[in-house]
Structure 1
Amino acid sequence: MERIAEGELAVMEVLWEESPLTAAEVAERVPAERGWSLATVKTMLSRLLAKGVLDHQEAGRRYLYRPAIRREDYVAEESGRLIDRMFGGRVTPLVAHLAEHDRLTPADIEEIEKILRELKS
């Protein structure tokens, strides 16, 4: 699966939340702070179609867009790439890094402990 750029991901998030949508509907839902025009959103949609992560169908004179991949599958692949690239494919150094840099809240630690208990049983 091809990587999705940060701007493209904003479009994918809209479509993972709700689809199918027209380009204009996607543009309405992209966070306003991006300041994107309809033309910019159409460019992003074209890039995502070329990458094969979006599907579209004709609806009269416009297209309806929907994700061709599930968000969960993309997150799993990107997480794996990060762990492979930055931590030699090991999760433990990632968790240690997060802990050392105060990126784990008490709620995060509790949740990790719960997951580990469930894995052990």
Structure 2
Amino acid sequence: MKLSAAEYEIMECVWALGRTVSGMDIMRALGQEKGWKQPTVLTFLSRLVEKGLLETEKRGKLRSYTAAMTREAYKNSETRDFLAQLYGGSIQNMVACMADGGGISPEELEALRAWLKERDPQ
């Protein structure tokens, strides 16, 4: 269910609006900024329907789109896939890689320790 950067931006827009949207809603929110034309936006929306992230309904000549997955559910799914692909599903391996490679600051490491201790006070 990998999304392109443009598809992810559209999903972020749909999630932020928090309602059923039309292609014109997306055009108003992103089209001008991105320089996208209406056919481009409609292609992205169709792809998101095919990937199962949006549901669509036709009302007369207009199509409306609703998020079929929450932002949190998408992030959880992508995070699990990322961990499985790069770290064999091991959070410990990921954190070790980040810490060894300088990707975690001492403050972030301390915050992680505190968070873990809070989750499991034993």
Is 1:90 matched up with 2:101?
no
Identity %, equivalent residues: 28
- Structure 2: any 5+ residue segments left out of the alignment? none
- Long gaps (5+) in structure 1: none
1:11 aligns with 2:10: yes
SS at match of 1:82: helix
Matched-pair contact (CA < 8 Å) for 2:80–2:89: yes
**Distance 1:111-1:47 versus aligned 2 partners, 3 A rule:** same
TM-score after normalising by structure 2: 0.83
Please, which moves more after superposition, 25-34 or 40-49?
25-34
Deviation of 1:9 (Å): 1.1
Shift of 1:78: 0.8
Instruction: Identify the residue that residue 118 of structure 1 maps to in structure 2.
Output: 118
Q: How many residues align?
A: 120
> What secondary structure is seen at the aligned counterpart in 2 of 1:83?
helix
Runs of 4+ with >4 A deviation:
none
Deviations 1:96-118 (A, max 9, x none): 22223333245533431232012
Alignment RMSD, CA only? 2.1
Partner of 1:30: 30
Cα distance 1:110–1:37, how it changes in 2: closer, same or farther (>3 A)? Answer: farther
Match of 1:53 in 2: 53
Q: Distance in 2 between matches of 1:13 and 1:43?
A: 16
